[in-house]
Structure 1
């Protein structure tokens, strides 16, 4: 039997009251140095008011300065960020709602005007869709890759100190971890390039490093840009194999979105833009879990979901275990009242 919107769900140590998730959406409300502002806290408190959402996932916070995606993106890269992050988490907890913080590194998508240096990437290749004239990034060395993995782990440690219930590793939308996953941007010939398992290596290393740092004190989600929907890019088959690897690594949630097509789909208007990917991924996870005698990792699906009834339909047809609502909640701070 498939769940419905108001069916509770356990993720790690927490239980969600329902299956509706406020998906990460950039608000550009931090200070220019990345510090959390009262406006950012109010932004989430307004949308979580009444405690009606199952989970709030904050916008992505950068784990190191060279991975910063925008001038007013929030930081989780410094120990001095913890006090502001604690206010951000508490703003949602005051509404009796669990909250995850999304953590990211922009890779080649980091603007030089913001980071004041040449951007880094798996290979000296710009992402599809990059602005004309966007400079070529510099290829990362193995030592630099290890340092970035450590930055993700330290960011998770700060999230725990700040009181977040979980962290979500951003490996979608053309950012650094997605750049490693996609064959369109990963041209490496070492252990980080080539076959899918190699292209997944840094993501799995980040997962392992976070677990080593915080154990199971925090729920751990990965937002996976499972399919590029572009010729020569990652495929739905890649997404299913990657998801099974993540399940084997012990993540608590897999959030599916686009890769080098970012968070949108051309010529797709019906709710659940990525359900052609989420359904086979979910089926693969169930099959893998059955073989191991374990519970399958829940799948979160976002994209074009505007109403609880649409979320309920996607849950009922087995396309997902959780429904993410992004722009509809961003544009209407009282959206949760629809529940």
Structure 2
């Protein structure tokens, strides 16, 4: 496990090894608040510091962007106190932690949010996470401006909560992925059409986050780099977008699926999104995380040896066994 055990420094953050626990929804929150159950969960997962980096489950940046009832909020200043409990717990266990911030867009449900459902266009969500059949309201430019501010404010709260960084969620058919994907973005203004237009909202969010957290704070982006659905984004789109995000100031790219969700259709091999992460890694100079189907330390090491990624996300295996990383590290 020579490569897997190597530390890596991103911005001013030194991560002890290349093992990443990716964001996984627990539904352990109550009214968006951090609960004791959630603290105990992160304490158990981070115990011993065997996981180099933990990316916490997606937190909603505004009530309308809430994906489910048990989701954590980062939409209110009053959330900071509870979020600090998470960072304190994980830091005490000697792991680093990043907050993932998200807006569900048309993956949200009025029964959960009590709000009108919004998205890039009036297109029902066809993604793996949001097949509700609800046709969302197409966002106006004022809506876009408001959501951009919500992301920037959420990033500021993450910093104030002592997270080591923040991750913008643009994967798995959530709002920013809806703007990125031609499957959901049918706009004819400057936020639709060309790839540069479809990622315009991302670039505005990155710019505003930088203003709110400063140049030294770690900013990551989780990208649904390919939809694996006819008419959706391709690998080439994912590479082109990644280059734009790096240029805009992103420090770390976390590669996953787009409208296909966390699973790549008809693929079960370890690192099944590695064709995406490898192609992107060749074109950017910032570190790249690969997650998907990796259950053994040897698999993670091999993917690093083959230059498929710089860090390896292990989700379900760690969810099932909190000692997974300890066993790998001590093997």
TM-score grouping bracket, smaller chain normalisation: over 0.9
Task: Determine the structure 2 residue equivalent to 1:194.
Answer: 193
Paired residue for 2:326?
337
Shift of 1:279: 1.0
Aligned-pair CA distance for 1:217: 4.3
Partner of 2:15: 16
TM-superposed deviation, 1:129: 4.1
Tell me how far apart the structure 1 counterparts of residues 40 and 211 of structure 2 sit (CA, whole Å): 33
Between the aligned partners of 1:133 and 1:20, the Cα distance in structure 2 is 35
**Quick one: distance in 1 between partners of 2:132 and 2:275?**
34
Q: What TM-score, normalized by structure 2, do the two folds share?
A: 0.96
2:222 aligns with 223
Residue in structure 2 matching 1:48, options 46, 57, 62? 46
Q: Report the Cα distance in structure 1 between the residues aligned to 2:69 and 2:240, rounded to whole angstroms.
A: 35
1:321 aligns with 2:319: no
| Structure 2 residue 328 is matched with structure 1 residue 309 | no
Show structure 1 runs of 4+ deviating over 3 A: 129-133
The verdict on how the C-alpha distance between 1:257 and 1:132 changes in structure 2, with shifts beyond 3 A counting, is closer
- Please name the residue that 1:7 is paired with: 6
Cα shift at 1:218: 2.5
| 2:112 pairs with 1:117 | no
Distance 2:221 2:202 in 1: 9
CA distance in structure 1 between the partners assigned to 2:216 and 2:93 by the alignment: 21
Report the Cα distance in structure 2 between the residues aligned to 1:19 and 1:72, rounded to whole angstroms.
29
In 2, are the aligned partners of 1:103 and 1:168 still within 8 Å (CA)? yes
After superposition, the C-alpha distances for 1:2-50 in whole angstroms (9 at most, x for unaligned) are x81011111111111111100100000000x100011111111101101
Q: CA deviation at 1:109?
A: 0.5
Question: Contact 2:107/2:131 (CA < 8 Å) preserved in 1?
Answer: no
Aligned equivalents of 2:152, 2:313: Cα separation in 1? 25
How far apart in 1 are the matches of 2:176 and 2:144? 11
State the SS of the aligned residue for 2:307: coil
Shift of 1:318: 0.7
Alignment pair present for 1:240 and 2:239: yes
**What is the deviation of 1:277?**
1.0
CA RMSD of aligned residues (A): 1.2
Q: Say whether residues 1:297 and 2:286 are aligned partners.
A: yes
CA positional deviation for 1:133: 5.5
**TM-score normalized by the length of structure 1:** 0.94
Residue segments in structure 1 that go unaligned for 5+ positions in a row: 286-295
1:89 deviation in Å? Answer: 0.9
* Superimposed CA distance per residue, residues 180-199 of structure 1 (whole angstroms, 9 cap, x where no aligned partner): 00000000000100000000
Is the Cα contact below 8 Å between 2:191 and 2:198 reproduced in 1? yes
CA distance in 2, matches of 1:145, 1:102: 20
Residue in 1 that maps onto 2:162? 163
Residue-pair matches, total: 326
Q: What residue number does 1:291 align with?
A: none
Structure 1 residues 279 and 133, CA, compared in 2 at 3 Å: closer, same or farther? Answer: closer
> What whole-Å deviation, never above 9, does each CA across 1:104-145 have from its counterpart, x for those lacking one?
000000111001122100001012146666221000000110
Q: Distance in 1 between matches of 2:55 and 2:3?
A: 20
Within-5 A mapping of 1:29-44: 29-31=28-30, 33-44=31-42
Secondary structure of the corresponding residue to residue 59 of structure 1: strand
